[in-house]
Amino acid sequence: MSRLCEGRVAVVTGAGQGLGREHALMLAAHGAKVIVNDIGAGVDGTGRDASHASGVVAEIRKAGGDAEVNGDDVSDWNGAKSLIDQAINSYGRLDVVVNNAGILRDRMLTNMSENEWDAVISVHLKGTFAPTRHAAAYWRDEAKRTGAPLKARIINTSSTSGIYGNVGQTNYGAAKAGIAAFTIIAARELRRYGVTANAISPSAQTRMTEGLRELTEEQRARRNPKWVSPIVTWLASEDSQAVSGRVFQAGNGIVSVCEGWRRGPTIEQMADPVALGPIVNDMVAKARKNVGMDGLDLD
């Protein structure tokens, strides 16, 4: 097997279980040195258990790979910096940041508490921003020091809830939509340093999605988290230098390039809202409808 990430240094957040674990294992199998970050919290973000991250590191080392445990909270500014610093101090460089850590606190909008909103936004959105911010500053300085662009990678985790919309997840969906936008803007800002930024929208059965729907054995097999990691591993490699600012849907039998917001039917601006109303109704009727959770047109 050709090893795509030989000698590269990668940080994977939320890597103790589920998707993050699969990403860490595949990156290591392809030659990357991996910092396995996880605080070991429950699905709702409470509790701590270091054994999950330690177990993944043990698996990587048993297979002949190189990995270290990190238990920092990525939604904490200093914790995120400590994570990035560990990779640089341990391995002398940093090439890849995979932002995967996340929690769920689903609730209908009319019943959602402030804490349920804040906790989800913090882990997903700030937990993507903070490690990326510290890594980006390091890469900027490296590019200036060497006088040449790098081949560094940011790989974020969005969601179908964020890019398509899902009932009961205004907090989670807003965070994941924000991550998609963050990815596009980061790609544009960091291009000058040779840093690419992409995101994945995974369709996988993990502890965060367990119990949401009844699945057959065949459906479970198609939603195994391992099917998401190949696109993450390729994006982490030097081969993906030409791809940036994209969101990929992966898992459940597909890999797809998602196409974002774009301007639809358009008219010249009008001063009279009474006259404008019927025209807007006609424009909306002609516009493409929002898609469903599968990314396809609603009936």
Confirm whether 237 is a catalytic residue: no
Give the relative orientation of helices 170-190 and 114-121 as an angle to the nearest 10 degrees: 30
Confirm whether 176 is a catalytic residue: yes
Select which of 176, 229, 240, 244 is catalytic: 176
Closest by CA position to 139, among listed 87, 102, 68, 185: 87
CA angle in degrees (0–180, nearest 5) for 26-177-33: 20
Closest by CA position to 164, among listed 257, 286, 297: 297
Confirm whether 159 is a catalytic residue: yes
**And the tokens for 10?**
């990668």
Task: Spell out where the chain has E strands.
Answer: 9-12, 33-37, 66-70, 96-98, 152-157, 195-202, 247-251, 254-257
Residues ≥6 apart with Cβ < 8 Å to 288: 264, 297
* H or E element that contains 85: helix 77-91
Task: Spell out where 118-211 has E strands.
Answer: 152-157, 195-202
Select which of 33, 75, 172, 240 is catalytic: 172
Which residues belong to the active site?
159, 172, 176
